Amino acid sequence: MTVGIVVVSHSRALADAAVALAGEMLHGGGGPLEVAAGLDGGGFGTDAVAISEAVAAADAGDGVVVLMDLGSAVLSAELALEMVDDDVRGRVVLCPAPLVEGLIVAVVSAAGGAPATEVAQEASDALLAKSGHLGAAPDEAAPEQVVTDTEETGTFTVGMPHGLHARPAAQLVGALRGLDADVRLRNVSLDGPEVSGASLSRVATLGALQGHEIAVRAAGTDAAEAVRRLLALAADDFGESALPVAVPSPVPVGHPIPASPGIGIGPVRATGTVSVTVPEPVPGDQHGRLDDARSSVRDHLRAVRDRAAREIGAAEAAIFDAQVLLLDDPEVLADVGTRLDAGTDAARAWADALDDVAGGLAGAADEYLRARAADVRDVRDQVLRALGGVAAAQGAGEGILVADELTPAEAAVLDPASTPAVVLAGSSPTAHAAILLRARGVPAVVGVGAALAGRAREAAVLAVDGSAGEVVVDPDPATLADFRARAEALGRHREEASRLVHEPAVTRDGTTVLVGVNVGSPADATAGVGADLAGLVRTEFGFLDRREAPSVDEQEAAYRAIGKAMDGRRITLRTLDVGGDKPLDYLPMPVEANPFLGVRGIRLALARPQLLADQLQAIVRVAHDHPVDVMFPMVAGVDELAAARRALDEAVETVGRGRPADLRVGIMVEVPAAALKAAAFAPDVDFFSIGTNDLTQYTLAAERGNDAVAALADALDPGVLALIKATADGAGDHVLVAVCGELAGDEQAAALLVGLGVRELSVAPGSVATVKQAVRDVDLAKARELAAAALACPDAAAVRALLR
Ligand code: PEP
Ligand code: MG
């Protein structure tokens, strides 16, 4: 059952925001959802034609629920119904629910497979939770009698940090659907009334927060099964533990982990959020000054956002979208405008208005909302800086930052010029903040633990080596001199590397190792000065943040732009690598308990043949004019490769110009089984590109990005190295072996990888020069000895010691 939903509003912005908010409940899944809001020129209003088109688009045959805001929206929707086909009209329910609350309940209910009438009823009851909380619970929430002859009971405790919110509540309701059981739930901790487990709206009125005890009572022939299912769901935290939850991870005991190379020496900066002084009033047009400052911050945030989307992922980049929204929030601007009109200067008006917003959030009951206050302060400070404000006293703006954790937003706005290094008690090298710090050239050591971080906070001076993972508290003169010498040597090394960046990377004994650049956009390709090729083009960036998949023409244009930026050098176009934890709005997928082990990469592409066919067609068109590699991600079996190759052959036929002469085919080796079966794949590929980011998480069973297992997920683990060796051994002579995961950009690992048989390293744009330079220091015979020694090491720490 796939019920479509249409949102009708006078305001496009309101509708989009409501849809985004509702999307949060689903973590990316959900059925057809269409918006008909605002007028063509951007003004407020509703348009019956647009609504009728939205209804037709949302109708997949199982009905459509239309939610409207006020007044003429209802009239327009009624008019729109006159315009749709008779059979469609019969399936449409115009729902009187409040737009925001109703939409949230409706999408969850529809995703749970409820029919249209039930979705509409649930949406209409959506205010029950709010009115119950505010003391005006309607009569319907009163307990109803249950037939008790075959009664079963049980209790569970809510384990999820955000309580039994809409998503787990939807799971609960969904689990009971189809059972012959009348199930009643009661929040024992609040001594609340019983509600029906069949109604999402009623379940929401439980007000079940983390730690609350919920009593279950069921009657009917399936009563036992109903209770069993609910208790099993609850024991699994309703699948929430598999989802990314924005709660801080505990600070580990820690062992310092290198996270961003480079040397930093300096005083310690006050930890926590760095506040910025409110600058003195400057005469002139205060509205204009503020508009200019906001505009420059907006440009900056968008640039950071684009970069984060490429290097980290769309979900994290959304933080910056939220900040841009705040910058332009009409409520905030109205408040600021009132203050300006009253004679307050731009900086003070902005600071006070944003302090009010942050203050409101900081007092919220919900921990997640409280944490968002830091994002608001971030925006406040950025605009104040643009208006001439400076970091507050106590050395806050200068020096080595010591903190427990760093959010990506904080990492993105750190000024590398005034931050010689970052030391974090927690976090991991694959955390988004660490990736941003690397991208920005700020040396960092993470996971140092609470004890060392505590001593570092008390220190006058710190010396940090981000390559070696060393943090020295109050170094003595000899140590200080040693770190200064390391910094100078590193500076010289980087200068030399830049001078030679256009030269090929050839080992001392004459083996050429290709050094490629990993790109998500033409800008990355341009930044990858000196790269021999684009060894990984993450094409999924062209598919994210859209309402529909890009057309063949659009994709062709995007790939041509990257080819042009590479100026004739080969581009390795990886086919769409989404799914699992990177869902696409227009590709509804069931929520998966273990998305990294689910339908992602080539699995998703093969499940959506048209998506793959279109992309391959665009790739083939470009391959007629530019040297192109096509690369399939997340391949686990030879049949997947065979199917993908067949799709490629069909795309060649569709384009109709014969097979492009220089089109090569390869797979990413990211699944341990693929590494071990390399010889089986070898006859059908031109190259293997090892994705060490994913290969590491699958080998060590340690999810990438999960701080709690960061120390385990080390690409230098001998287990991962053995799989790289297996890939190279299985490849034979005719298949080039590349590495395009983060490990390729680690200069210290270059000799080891070459020794294991790797002949191409594809790295972030900023690492091309230094990785080429590292290759030039390699002696193949010694590198092979090093590789053998590393394979015999017990763990990653021993391998790292060997590399040093
Ligand atoms: C990898 O897994 O190493 C890789 C390069 O792919 P991505 O990081 O895009 O998953
Ligand atoms: Mg990968």
Residue 380 and residue 400 share a domain: no
What is the sign, positive or negative, of the torsion defined by CA atoms of 650, 654, 659, 665? negative
Q: How far is the CA of 760 from the centre of ligand 2 (A)?
A: 17
Residue 363 and residue 463 share a domain: no
Q: Is 691 in the pocket of ligand 1 (CB under 6 A)?
A: yes
Residue 208 and residue 354 share a domain: no
pLDDT band at 506 (very low <50, low <70, confident <90, very high): very high
> Which of 292-296, 302-306, 493-497, 613-617 shows the lowest per-residue confidence on average (mean pLDDT)?
302-306
- CATH number, position 404: 3.50.30.10
Residue 707 and residue 621 share a domain: yes
pLDDT band at 708 (very low <50, low <70, confident <90, very high): confident
Residue 236 and residue 295 share a domain: no
- CATH number, position 186: 3.30.1340.10
Q: Is 740 in the pocket of ligand 1 (CB under 6 A)?
A: yes
Enumerate the β-bridge partners of residue 471: 464
In this structure, the residue with its CA closest to atom 3 of ligand 1 is 691
Question: Both tokens of residue 736?
Answer: 């080039």
- What is the per-residue pLDDT for 144? 43
> Does residue 246 have a pLDDT over 50?
no
The stretch 416-440 carries a mean pLDDT of 81
**Does 94 reside within a domain?**
yes
Q: How far is the CA of 743 from the centre of ligand 2 (A)?
A: 12
d(CA 30, CA 50): 22
- What is the per-residue pLDDT for 241? 58
Catalytic residue among 10, 27, 95, 740: 740
**Does 495 reside within a domain?**
no
> Does residue 779 have a pLDDT over 80?
yes
> Does residue 555 have a pLDDT over 90?
yes
**Does 426 reside within a domain?**
yes
Which residues of 554-684 form beta strands (DSSP E)?
571-574, 628-632, 664-669
Q: Is 596 in the pocket of ligand 1 (CB under 6 A)?
A: no
% pLDDT > 90, the chain: 47
d(CA 538, CA 544): 11
Q: Is 538 in the pocket of ligand 1 (CB under 6 A)?
A: yes
- Regarding predicted confidence, which is higher, 706 or 191? 191
Residue 478 and residue 537 share a domain: no
pLDDT band at 709 (very low <50, low <70, confident <90, very high): confident
For 201, what's the count of Cα atoms within 13 Å in the CB-facing half-sphere? 25
Closest CA to 628 of 539, 716, 534, 717: 534
% pLDDT > 70, the chain: 87
- CATH number, position 555: 3.20.20.60
In this structure, the residue with its CA closest to atom 1 of ligand 1 is 691
> Which of 289-298, 383-392, 641-650 shows the lowest per-residue confidence on average (mean pLDDT)?
383-392
Residue 229 and residue 184 share a domain: yes
In this structure, the residue with its CA closest to atom 10 of ligand 1 is 694
d(CA 23, CA 12): 16
Residue 37 and residue 70 share a domain: yes
For 255, 422, 423, 486, the CA distances from 268, given in Å and listed in that order, are: 20, 10, 10, 20
Phi and psi (nearest 5°) for 496? -60, -45
Q: How far is the CA of 449 from the centre of ligand 1 (A)?
A: 28
Q: How far is the CA of 697 from the centre of ligand 2 (A)?
A: 10
Cβ contacts of residue 688 below 8 Å, gap of 6+? 666, 667, 668, 669, 678, 681, 727, 731, 735, 736, 737, 738
Ligand 1 nearest-atom number relative to CA 670 = 2
**Does 248 reside within a domain?**
no
Ligand 1 nearest-atom number relative to CA 691 = 3
Range of the domain at 33: 4-126
Cβ contacts of residue 247 below 8 Å, gap of 6+? 161, 367, 368
Residue 644 and residue 531 share a domain: yes
In this structure, the residue with its CA closest to atom 6 of ligand 1 is 691
**Does 72 reside within a domain?**
yes
d(CA 85, CA 111): 25
Q: Is 323 in the pocket of ligand 1 (CB under 6 A)?
A: no
Catalytic residue among 165, 212, 432, 626: 432
The stretch 548-554 carries a mean pLDDT of 93
> How do residues 40-82 score in pLDDT, each as one tens digit?
777 788 888 899 999 999 998 899 999 999 877 888 888 888 8
| 95 catalytic per annotation | no
Instruction: Check residue 179 and report its DSSP letter.
Output: -
**Does 134 reside within a domain?**
no
The stretch 460-467 carries a mean pLDDT of 90
Which protein residues have their CB within 5 A of the ion that is ligand 2?
670, 691, 694
Q: Is 600 in the pocket of ligand 1 (CB under 6 A)?
A: no
The stretch 197-214 carries a mean pLDDT of 79
Q: Is 407 in the pocket of ligand 1 (CB under 6 A)?
A: no
DSSP string, 153-169: EEEEE--STT-S-HHHH
Rounded to the nearest 10 degrees, the angle between the axes of helix 768-776 and helix 477-499 is 100
* Mean per-residue pLDDT over the chain, rounded: 86
- CATH number, position 336: 1.10.274.10
> How do residues 736-771 score in pLDDT, each as one tens digit?
999 999 899 999 999 999 999 999 999 988 899 999
What is the sign, positive or negative, of the torsion defined by CA atoms of 408, 542, 31, 611? negative
pLDDT band at 393 (very low <50, low <70, confident <90, very high): very low
**Does 709 reside within a domain?**
yes
Q: What residue type is 457 in one-letter code?
A: R
Among 635, 700, 740, 753, the mutation site with the greatest number of ligand 1 atoms within 8 A of its Cβ is: 740
| 287 catalytic per annotation | no
Residue 223 and residue 86 share a domain: no
Residue 783 and residue 748 share a domain: yes
The stretch 375-399 carries a mean pLDDT of 70
Ligand 1 nearest-atom number relative to CA 538 = 9
**Does 368 reside within a domain?**
yes
For 374, 381, 407, 445, the CA distances from 316, given in Å and listed in that order, are: 15, 20, 10, 21
Q: How far is the CA of 683 from the centre of ligand 1 (A)?
A: 24
Number of domains comprising the chain: 5
Which residue is it, tokens 């990005």? 705
SS3 657: coil
- Regarding predicted confidence, which is higher, 681 or 16? 681
Residue where one domain finishes, among candidates 110, 126, 142: 126
Residue 666 and residue 640 share a domain: yes
The ligand with the least distance to the CA atom of 695 is 1
